Structure 1
Amino acid sequence: MRLQLFRAGFVTAGLLFPLLFFSCKAIAQEGSQNEFLSIATSATILYDAPSLNAGKLYVASVNLPLEVVVKVVGWVKVRDYHGYLAWVEDKNLSPKRFVIVNASVGSVYQSPDQNSSLVFQARQDVVLEWLGAAANGWVKVKHQDGQVGYIRTDQVWGV
């Protein structure tokens, strides 16, 4: 009798596991298309699991860009530009795109060409609003003070 119950439980688990695996895999593939969101509220807490009772990892500032890894009801598992994984409540996220300078100094030009006029330079960890992709490895960005220009994609994270 116990063996039969164990077998039934094992078979049931065996049938459920592939369904759970494929549904998680489909969600993870959605995030693997480099979907980026940003923190929408100031002082947003990121957790080590999708629960308000989970361990608190750190507090993120508004506009911080994050890469989507997995979405579940009410929560999103994200990766920051350091590669750290965390969970955040989806109500604290915005689809508005931002990038973060990952070079020691990021140079922003008037047009997507290094021979054009330099508009400004941004230090590492400065967050810039993403205005869209440009050709040949450039993105159009906006500084919080209103300056607009183009920066090479290898100088920012979140593209």
Structure 2
Amino acid sequence: MMISSLIGGFLAAIMALSVAASALAGEASGLPLPRFVSLRSDEVNLRTGPGQRYPIEWIYARKDLPVEVIAEFEAWRKIRDWQGAEGWVHQAMLSGRRMMVVIGSQRQLRGSDGDATDTLAIVEAGVLGRLLQCPRNRDFCRVEVGQVQGWLKRDEIWGVYKGEWIE
């Protein structure tokens, strides 16, 4: 009888720790998950787990690359990049600056938010740009690539959610 009480208490303690850990993993910052951010530095270590004791799996060498925060644990953020790679980075290596990356093939950077508008530039897949505006109920977002501001379709970029609007 005493052993079953000890086992029951032990299991209850493990469950309480598990619940506390999952609460920390999802709500460390209080910001919504998932969400887009960008890399703050030209050298960011992607680790296999949330801490410096975990091995470095990859080193990003592209400041302003947009990434998606998909989980949190204390000061660590689990991120996903536009190619699907996932891992953990320290929150200090992330910025709230909204960026985007061109996906697919060559895209036309347009003068306004419509298919029949002038082309300002042709941008290649993998090109980074700053996300300036994604109006509500519109198919286009206003971006800045290099020194040129224009419009790209939402489905031509990675860094904004389908129904998300940015003013």
The runs of at least 4 consecutive aligned structure 1 residues that moved more than 4 Å come to 25-29
Deviation digits for residues 97-126 of structure 1 (CA, Å, limit 9, x no counterpart)? 100011211211000011111011111111
Q: Give the residue type in structure 2 aligned to 1:49.
A: G
* Paired position in structure 1 for 2:90: 89
* Paired position in structure 2 for 1:80: 81
Distance 1:29 1:90, change over 3 A: closer
Aligned Cα root-mean-square deviation (Å): 2.0
2:139 matches 1:132: no
* Paired position in structure 1 for 2:117: 116
Q: Percent identity?
A: 21
Q: Give the residue type in structure 2 aligned to 1:96.
A: R
Aligned positions of 1:26-105 closer than 5 A: 30-32=32-34, 35-60=35-60, 61-105=62-106
What secondary structure does 1:76 align onto? strand
Worse overlay, 52-61 or 106-115: 52-61
Find the aligned partners of 2:77 and 2:90 in 1 and give their Cα distance: 6
Find the aligned partners of 1:19 and 1:73 in 2 and give their Cα distance: 12
Find the aligned partners of 2:149 and 2:26 in 1 and give their Cα distance: 38
Worse overlay, 64-73 or 93-102: 64-73
What secondary structure does 1:52 align onto? coil
Structure 1 portions without partners, runs of 5+ = none
Find the aligned partners of 1:158 and 1:25 in 2 and give their Cα distance: 21
Q: Give the residue type in structure 2 aligned to 1:55.
A: P
Q: Give the residue type in structure 2 aligned to 1:78.
A: I
Find the aligned partners of 1:107 and 1:54 in 2 and give their Cα distance: 42
Q: Give the residue type in structure 1 aligned to 2:48.
A: D
Q: Size of the alignment, in residue pairs? A: 156
